[in-house]
């Protein structure tokens, strides 16, 4: 059951702003708090999520035809956090790539309530599993130095005997092919691939790995090789990461803990570019599991 | 007494208007030289033209709280004898990444003018300014008498700039670098202090991340006998700290390095000893990586402490209790929420003199951790003198805040940050309106208020109705409609700074403050419902305001996503980057 939508969009203006509203709603959802740390994916006034985050100036192509369905399923079915204009069953509008902003063939969005932040908290709080906390730009209001220092201290405290310290701070950059901006995510705040992929999905609004959640399938941590291949073939983009050794691997190959210990940065790349990765990734994983005793 | 001789004129005597100075100039000069508060001096300068002139000629310190409200030329023209300048630049929300890079607030144009107008400048205190290494070098080379540099929340410089300061400022007494966006290139900037520099009184490099030469530091501390404030960075360990303390037992404020090390017991004793010789210490800060293992070394000085800053120490309630039990004189306390409600109960029990408490979150995104309503109530019960609070928490109740207001009616600064945007009272699920209502009703001296949690227009109605002394207001994710902001703008006559983000306030709300903005320092509104038309209208009506819109790329041109409004006598900015549009 999808969460009943709360405005979260303070704009509440005319149709003309519907696009921005819907977009903003997702990103301003009190639970999701999707506004990314530093950069916004879509800029104010960006289009509706029905068209999947298309940025003025044609920067980010989000929706690929193949994944459209999956994405909307993700929104309606598995991903219970989506705040959406209208009801949850709304069909995703015709997919348009950036540049064609005009045709939003979406069923009319009811005028959004004025109260931006009038969330009746209950429905949201009845969600059983805690949402992976998203990051709103500049919230809570803490200066960067303090935030970064805390992150390092926190990590140090948690990993007493553990070798996984690394730099202590687990912010990694996430880039997407075709996108003009990078995002940063703090891997520390997620506990499994599902959380991470949901977050990235929302951040980049279409994401391959997120699909496995959309079918309501609870997988074990980490994706099996075959599942990964399914996904790869089913969509245009895949999530990869660069590990400590500088190799590019598919996300999902290794157990979560190993992943966050070795991930230096991530890249959402076109699956056509990534096909060659999979076998190598699995092999490397096998080798690593043998050699690595951490 | 002959009135003319004393310069006193009796009204209506028909005395020569040219001689109607109330007091001789010399008298005024001497009197005014005793007046140091900016506020008083401003009042004095308004009395009459003569007083204005005498005052301006004798002013030594000027505080420019918004660098764009006035130009350096205007300042130097009015005040020719300034020796100390405080300059603040960017809107406060720039601390939280809401203001794009290259927005402005460059200190260089000021330095350029000061180089000719104030060659004897001694002190420069900067907050949220853009400072480059070149500017620091310019400063170091052009002001021979320069003594004190303080930079808080500035960015754009690196340790290279610090090298220049260390090298060329022969009379340096203060170098205070705090929480800046500094490019720590490491290097040995500390070693650039010449051997003959002995004047240092304040050295704070606690937020620099790279190692400094300990030898250079040791030598510096040893020869600067007037050193009273020393705050080192995390790279300095306990043993090194001990050595420094032995050299500077006269310290009044100390920022420690890291506590991470395992000391041999001999060293621990030595360290305790060193601390016990520091009879003047009243402020302790940093405490990185502190645990119960080595915290005890500071116990000898706890009894004298008035300010304890543990906001970088992730300690628990037990550690806190140990320290607080020995620190009965504490007036100001900063902690991390790892101390929990239990730790705050200890605060309530041990700190009857406490006036200020700040509780920072260790991890804003973890719902399990932190402090709650009960901790806040516990503090308010035990600390009736509390008047300043900054409190980050995951959840709060109206009842708790109402109790707090009753226990501590003297709040001047009440900054409550419930970290989930729009979070209601977690027991009743109601908005937090009554909480803030209680605060503004009871705390009549309230000057600064930061609100959070689920708030309707009612909260703002309360603020507008009761918060008559309010000067600074911060609002985020709150309100229902324009009315909210209107209540405040119409009801609070002393507003100076208002910053609003993510609220449903639109043009009507913006324009409701028309009559207020000229007596305010600034207004910030981001991610609200303000449109370009609204901003234009404001700009048209009020010519002495700068109404600036920070444009995001792309985006609806009709919306004004980030608006910064401030009074100015300097006209529109001449250095505005392309994304800042002045209407």
Q: How far is A200 from chain B (nearest CA, A)?
A: 17
What pLDDT shows up at residue B19? Answer: 53
The owner of tokens 């300097």 is: B570
The residue with greater pLDDT, B8 or B237, is: B237
Least confident of A40-54, A145-159, B412-426: A40-54
Q: What is the pLDDT of residues B371-404, one digit of tens each?
A: 999 999 999 999 999 999 999 999 999 999 999 9
Considering only CB atoms, which chain B residues are within 8 Å of A153?
Answer: 288-289, 312, 314, 362
ipTM of the modeled complex: 0.85
Residue by residue, DSSP assigns B88-129 as: E-S-GGGGGT-S-TT---BSHHHHHHHHHH-TT--EEEEES-
Q: Looking at the predicted structure, is the pLDDT value of residue B504 above 60?
A: yes
Q: Over chain A, what is the mean pLDDT? A: 53
Q: What is the pLDDT of residues B127-137, one digit of tens each?
A: 999 999 999 99
> DSSP letter at B130?
B
C-beta separation of B156 from B132 below 8 A: yes
- Helices and strands, counts by H and E, chain B: 21, 23
Spatial neighbors of B194 by CB under 8 A, at least 6 apart, are B167, B170
Mean pLDDT of B542-552: 91
From chain A residues 7-46, the ones with a CB under 8 A of any chain B CB are 10-13, 16-17, 20, 28, 30, 33, 37-38, 40, 43-46
Dihedral sign for Cα atoms in the order B488, B490, B492, B495:
positive
In the structure encoding, which two tokens stand for residue B348, read together? 């309530």
Per cent of chain A over pLDDT 70 is: 28
Per cent of chain A over pLDDT 90 is: 1
What pLDDT shows up at residue B370? Answer: 87
What pLDDT shows up at residue A30? Answer: 44
**Model's pTM, two decimal places?**
0.70
What pLDDT shows up at residue A220? Answer: 44
What 3-state DSSP class applies to A43?
coil
Q: Looking at the predicted structure, is the pLDDT value of residue A290 above 70?
A: no
What pLDDT shows up at residue B33? Answer: 85
Band the pLDDT of A106: cuts 50, 70, 90: very low
Any CB–CB contact under 8 A between A137 and chain B?
yes
Q: How far is B158 from chain A (nearest CA, A)?
A: 15
Considering only CB atoms, which chain B residues are within 8 Å of A119?
Answer: 422, 454
Any CB–CB contact under 8 A between A168 and chain B?
no
What pLDDT shows up at residue B243? Answer: 94
Chain B residue closest in CA terms to A40: B552
Q: What is the pLDDT of residues B458-497, one digit of tens each?
A: 999 999 999 999 999 999 999 999 999 999 999 999 999 9
What pLDDT shows up at residue B85? Answer: 97
What pLDDT shows up at residue A155? Answer: 58
Q: What is the pLDDT of residues B11-49, one digit of tens each?
A: 444 455 555 556 788 888 888 888 888 888 889 888 999
Most confident of the ranges A113-127, A164-178, A206-220, A239-253: A239-253
Considering only CB atoms, which chain B residues are within 8 Å of A101?
Answer: none
Backbone conformation region of residue A203, classed left if phi is above 0, alpha if psi is from -120 to 50, else beta: alpha
Band the pLDDT of A14: cuts 50, 70, 90: very low
What pLDDT shows up at residue B18? Answer: 53
Containing A231, the helix (H) or strand (E) segment is helix A225-234
User: Which one of A131, A143, A165, A170 would you mutate to disrupt binding with B, by most B Cβ within 10 Å of its Cβ?
Assistant: A143
What pLDDT shows up at residue A235? Answer: 59
Band the pLDDT of A180: cuts 50, 70, 90: low
Mean pLDDT of A182-203: 79
In angstroms, rounded to a whole number, what is the distance separating the alpha carbons of residues A165 and A224? 27
Cβ neighbours around B217 below 10 Å, total: 22
Any CB–CB contact under 8 A between B259 and chain A?
no
What pLDDT shows up at residue B266? Answer: 76
Any CB–CB contact under 8 A between B312 and chain A?
yes
Residue by residue, DSSP assigns B272-325 as: HHHHHT-TT--EEE--BT--TTTGGGGHHHHTT-SEEE-TT----HHHHHHHHT
Band the pLDDT of A9: cuts 50, 70, 90: very low
Q: What is the pLDDT of residues B266-314, one digit of tens each?
A: 778 889 999 999 999 999 999 998 888 889 999 999 999 999 999 999 8
Contact B478 A114 (CB under 8 A): no
From chain B residues 547-566, the ones with a CB under 8 A of any chain A CB are 552-557, 559, 561
From chain A residues 224-263, the ones with a CB under 8 A of any chain B CB are none
In angstroms, rounded to a whole number, what is the distance separating the alpha carbons of residues A36 and A202? 10
What pLDDT shows up at residue B427? Answer: 95
What pLDDT shows up at residue A61? Answer: 35
C-beta separation of A211 from A70 below 8 A: yes
Contact A44 B481 (CB under 8 A): no
Least confident of A172-181, B324-333, B461-470, B565-574: A172-181
Q: Nearest CB to A143: which of B95, B362, B552?
A: B95
In angstroms, rounded to a whole number, what is the distance separating the alpha carbons of residues A208 and A271? 9
In angstroms, rounded to a whole number, what is the distance separating the alpha carbons of residues B378 and B389? 13
Considering only CB atoms, which chain A residues are within 8 Å of B362?
Answer: 150, 153-154
In angstroms, rounded to a whole number, what is the distance separating the alpha carbons of residues B315 and B337? 9
Least confident of A74-78, B180-184, B487-491: A74-78
Any CB–CB contact under 8 A between B392 and chain A?
yes
Helix intervals (H) in chain A: 18-28, 65-73, 121-125, 144-158, 193-204, 211-214, 225-234, 256-262, 271-274, 277-291
C-beta separation of B274 from B242 below 8 A: yes
Q: Over chain B, what is the mean pLDDT? A: 91
What pLDDT shows up at residue A153? Answer: 64
CA-to-CA separations, B408 to A285, B306, B343, B579, in angstroms, rounded: 60, 20, 19, 45
Q: Looking at the predicted structure, is the pLDDT value of residue B364 above 90?
A: no
Q: Looking at the predicted structure, is the pLDDT value of residue B572 above 90?
A: yes
From chain B residues 476-515, the ones with a CB under 8 A of any chain A CB are 476-481, 501-504
What pLDDT shows up at residue A250? Answer: 84
Any CB–CB contact under 8 A between B293 and chain A?
no
Mean pLDDT of B500-514: 95
Mean pLDDT of B108-119: 97
The residue with greater pLDDT, B367 or B143, is: B143
Least confident of A15-19, A61-65, B39-43, B133-137: A61-65
């Amino acid at each position: 059951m999808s969460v009943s939508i709360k405005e979260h969009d303070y704009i509440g203006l005319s149709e003309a702003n519907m696009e921005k509203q819907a977009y903003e709603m997702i990103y301003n959802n009190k639970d999701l708090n999707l506004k990314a740390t530093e950069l916004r994916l879509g800029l104010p006034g960006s289009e509706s999520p029905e068209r999947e985050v298309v940025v003025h100036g044609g920067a980010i192509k989000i929706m690929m035809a193949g994944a459209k369905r999956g994405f909307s399923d993700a929104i309606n079915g598995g991903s219970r956090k989506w705040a959406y204009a209208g009801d949850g069953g709304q069909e995703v509008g015709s997919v348009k790539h950036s540049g064609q902003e005009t045709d939003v063939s979406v069923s009319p969005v009811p005028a959004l309530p004025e109260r931006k932040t009038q969330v009746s908290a209950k429905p949201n709080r009845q969600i059983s599993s805690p949402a992976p906390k998203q990051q709103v730009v500049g919230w809570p209001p803490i200066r960067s130095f303090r935030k970064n220092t805390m992150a390092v201290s926190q990590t140090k405290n948690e990993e007493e005997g553990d070798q996984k310290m690394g730099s202590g701070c687990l912010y990694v950059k996430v880039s997407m092919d075709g996108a003009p901006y990078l995002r940063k995510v703090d891997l520390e705040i997620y506990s499994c691939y599902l959380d991470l992929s949901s977050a990235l999905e929302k951040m980049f609004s279409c994401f391959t790995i997120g699909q496995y959640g959309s079918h309501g399938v609870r997988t074990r941590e980490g994706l099996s090789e075959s599942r990964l291949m399914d996904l790869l073939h089913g969509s245009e983009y895949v999530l990869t990461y660069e590990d400590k050794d500088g190799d590019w691997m598919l996300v999902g190959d290794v157990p979560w803990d190993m992943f966050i210990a070795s991930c230096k940065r991530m890249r959402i790349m076109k699956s056509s570019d990534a096909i060659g990765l999979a076998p190598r990734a699995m092999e490397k994983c096998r080798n690593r599991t043998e050699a690595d005793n951490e | 007494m002959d009135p003319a001789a004393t310069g006193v004129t009796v009204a209506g005597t028909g005395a020569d208007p040219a001689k109607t100075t109330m007091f001789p100039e010399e008298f005024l000069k001497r009197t005014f030289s005793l007046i140091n508060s900016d506020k008083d001096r401003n009042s004095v300068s308004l009395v009459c033209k003569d007083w204005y002139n005498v005052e301006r000629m004798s002013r030594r310190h000027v505080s420019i709280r918004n660098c764009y409200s006035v130009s350096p030329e205007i300042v130097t023209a009015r005040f020719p004898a300034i020796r100390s300048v405080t300059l603040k630049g960017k809107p406060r929300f720039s601390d939280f990444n809401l203001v794009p890079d290259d927005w402005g607030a460059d200190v260089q144009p000021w330095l350029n003018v000061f180089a000719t107008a104030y060659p004897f400048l001694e002190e420069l205190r900067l907050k949220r300014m853009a400072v480059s290494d070149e500017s620091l070098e310019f400063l170091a080379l052009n002001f021979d008498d320069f003594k004190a540099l303080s930079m808080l929340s500035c960015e754009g410089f690196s340790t290279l700039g610090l090298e220049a300061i260390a090298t060329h400022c022969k009379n340096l007494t203060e170098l205070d670098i705090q929480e800046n966006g500094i490019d720590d290139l490491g290097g040995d900037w500390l070693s650039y202090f010449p051997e003959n520099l002995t004047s240092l009184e304040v050295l704070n490099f606690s937020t620099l991340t790279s190692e400094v030469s300990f030898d250079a530091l040791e030598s510096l501390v040893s020869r600067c006998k007037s050193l009273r404030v020393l705050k080192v960075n995390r790279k300095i360990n306990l043993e090194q700290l001990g050595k420094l303390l032995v050299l500077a037992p006269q310290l009044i404020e100390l920022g420690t390095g890291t506590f991470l090390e395992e000391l041999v017991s001999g060293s621990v004793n030595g360290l305790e000893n060193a601390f016990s010789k520091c009879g003047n210490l009243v402020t302790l800060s940093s405490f990185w990586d502190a645990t119960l293992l080595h915290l005890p070394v500071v116990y000898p000085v706890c009894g004298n402490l008035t300010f304890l800053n543990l906001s970088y120490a992730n300690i628990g309630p037990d550690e806190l209790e140990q320290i607080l039990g020995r620190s009965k004189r504490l007036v100001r306390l900063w902690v991390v929420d790892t101390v929990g409600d239990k730790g705050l109960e200890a605060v309530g029990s041990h700190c009857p003199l406490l006036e200020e408490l700040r509780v920072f979150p260790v991890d804003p995104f973890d719902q399990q951790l932190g402090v709650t309503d009960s901790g806040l109530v516990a503090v308010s019960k035990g600390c009736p003198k509390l008047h300043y609070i900054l409190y980050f928490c995951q959840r709060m109740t109206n009842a708790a805040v109402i109790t707090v207001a009753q226990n501590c009616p003297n709040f001047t600064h009440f900054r409550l940050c419930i970290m989930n945007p729009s979070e209601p009272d977690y027991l009743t699920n109601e908005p937090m309106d009554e909480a803030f209502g209680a605060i503004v009703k009871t705390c009549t001296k309230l000057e600064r208020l930061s609100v959070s949690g689920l708030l309707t227009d009612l909260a703002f109605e309360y603020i507008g109705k009761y918060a008559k002394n309010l000067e600074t207001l911060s609002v985020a994710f709150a309100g229902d409609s324009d009315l909210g902001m209107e209540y405040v703008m119409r009801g609070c006559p002393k507003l100076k700074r208002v910053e609003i983000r993510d609220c449903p306030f639109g043009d009507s709300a913006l324009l409701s403050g028309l009559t207020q903005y000229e007596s305010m320092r600034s207004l910030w509104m981001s991610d609200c419902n303000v449109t370009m038309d609204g901003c234009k209208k404001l700009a048209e009506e009020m010519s002495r305001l700068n109404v600036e819109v920070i444009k995001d790329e792309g985006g609806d041109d009709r919306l004004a996503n980030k608006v910064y409004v401030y009074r100015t006598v300097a006209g529109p900015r001449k250095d505005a980057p392309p994304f800042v549009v002045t209407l």
